Structures are given as C-alpha cells and as structure tokens.
Amino acid sequence: MRIDAKARAKNLTRRTAVVTGGGSGIGTMIASAYVQNGVKVYIASRKEEQLKKVCRAQAHSSPVLHSHQSDVSTPNKGVREIE
C-alpha cells in the first residue's frame, strides 16, 4: 500500500523533532522540511550564530522552530539539554 505525500504530512502534525547539525547544510534542509509539514522542530548545533541565522530565515514559522546551542558529540548530552 502506497501513502501519498499529503497523508504522510498529516501524520507529522503535532510531532516534535530534534535535528542535530541543524545550523547548516543537510540539517537545515531537514529542519525546514519538517517545519513546512507542521512539526515542532528543535535544531541543535555547536555554532550559535548559525542557529540564529537559520531561525531568522524561518521567521515565518518561529512558533515551531527552536534552536539550542549544543555539542552532541557526547552521547545523550544534547537531548538532555533540550528536555
């Protein structure tokens, strides 16, 4: 059974995602796609200035996009900081 894109998007509303590396590149693109589909997104990166830049670019969706400066190279540290 195949599920179309609109049906998948509906399943994402009221969900929360944590995207590490969300300050640039693929992480930013993933976060943006989630935001466009109604997901509440927390982006994490070691570089606070990059996080601010991404949030400014996504200002229209600010209620669902949040940033958190974090180094997630230590297992579970970044997620615990967000919680």
Domains of the chain listed by start with CATH number: 5-82 (3.40.50.720)
Rounded Cα distance, 9 and 59, in Å: 21
| Residue-wise pLDDT tens digits, 53-77 | 888 887 776 578 888 888 777 766 6
> What's the helix, strand, coil split of the chain in %, to 5?
50, 20, 30
Averaged pLDDT score across all residues of the chain: 78
Rounded Cα distance, 47 and 8, in Å: 32
Predicted TM-score of the model (pTM): 0.72
Are 21 and 27 within 8 A, CB to CB?
A: yes
Dihedral angle, C-alpha 7, 66, 43, 60, nearest 10 °: 60
